[in-house]
Amino acid sequence: MSIWANLGEFISSTASQALSAVIESVRTVFEGDPATRKQVAFSIAIIALSAKMAKADGIVTPEEVGAFQELFEVPEDEAAHVARVYNLAKQDVAGYESYASQVKALFPDEADILRDVLDGLFHIAKADGVIHERELSFVETVSGIFGLSEREFEGVRLRHLEPEEGNPYVVLGADPSWDDEQLKAHYRKLVRENHPDRMLARGVPEEFLKIASDRLAVINLAWQHLSRERGL
């Protein structure tokens, strides 16, 4: 069963609830199926926060909606399930900070999957060619709620906004004082951690693997800059 079918069944079973209550229900509905619980939780997290963020710049553009569908690879016959969550989030009076806190509680010790959520939000925010100040503030606030440090957030920001010009050490989360072998080991670790198979293993649905390919491309670009700079 696809993640969208699982999501559709879950949303149908919680149809009368506000989305903030739906997010909380993920814990109990899928208690005996941790793999599906993670996938549904991840999907709802990005959909809900995306819907809130889409209003952060005052309008929802066709490009942002298109990016949403591109990132999720939503089949046409499953689009209604996603739209239902999206609209619930837009209508829910709960603030996005409360959503972010709920998502953090669903993945309390899994910083990697929370970074995956942030990458998804950036992908959608930049779809119309520019990230508005309110959108950037939105993602930065979510990052803080998720427990990421300022330097970690800056690395995510540079990957999306300044992949060519950004400090490659910050993009890689590396220390300029490291010697060549330390830097190589760190780069190899990043490549392993961001391989699509690793993302699947930690609960990211297959439909979201564009996050992995985009992230790896920027990691490799930053590594190329440092390799040339150091003559590796």
Express each pLDDT in 98-132 by its tens digit.
Answer: 888 888 888 888 888 888 888 888 887 777 777 88
Q: For position 57, what pLDDT does the model report? A: 58
Q: What CA–CA distance (Å, rounded) separates 3 from 112?
A: 20
Q: How many CA atoms lie within 13 A of 13 on its CB side?
A: 12
- 66 pLDDT band (50/70/90 cuts)? low
Q: What CA–CA distance (Å, rounded) separates 104 from 122?
A: 18
Cα-based distances in Å from 42 to 61, 82, 141, 171? 24, 13, 18, 24
Q: For position 20, what pLDDT does the model report? A: 66
Domain ranges of the chain: 3-230
Look up the pTM and report it.
Answer: 0.75
Q: What CA–CA distance (Å, rounded) separates 158 from 166?
A: 6
Amino acid residing at 184 = K
DSSP assignment, residue 202? Answer: T
Cα-based distances in Å from 27 to 30, 101, 102, 112? 6, 14, 11, 19
The pLDDT tens digits for 6-43 are 666 676 666 656 666 667 676 666 666 777 777 777 77
What are phi and psi for residue 162, nearest 5 degrees? Answer: -140, 55
Q: What CA–CA distance (Å, rounded) separates 99 from 124?
A: 18
Q: Does the pLDDT of residue 54 top 80, yes or no?
A: no
Q: For position 141, what pLDDT does the model report? A: 94
How many helices and strands in the chain, by DSSP H and E?
13, 0
- 197 pLDDT band (50/70/90 cuts)? confident
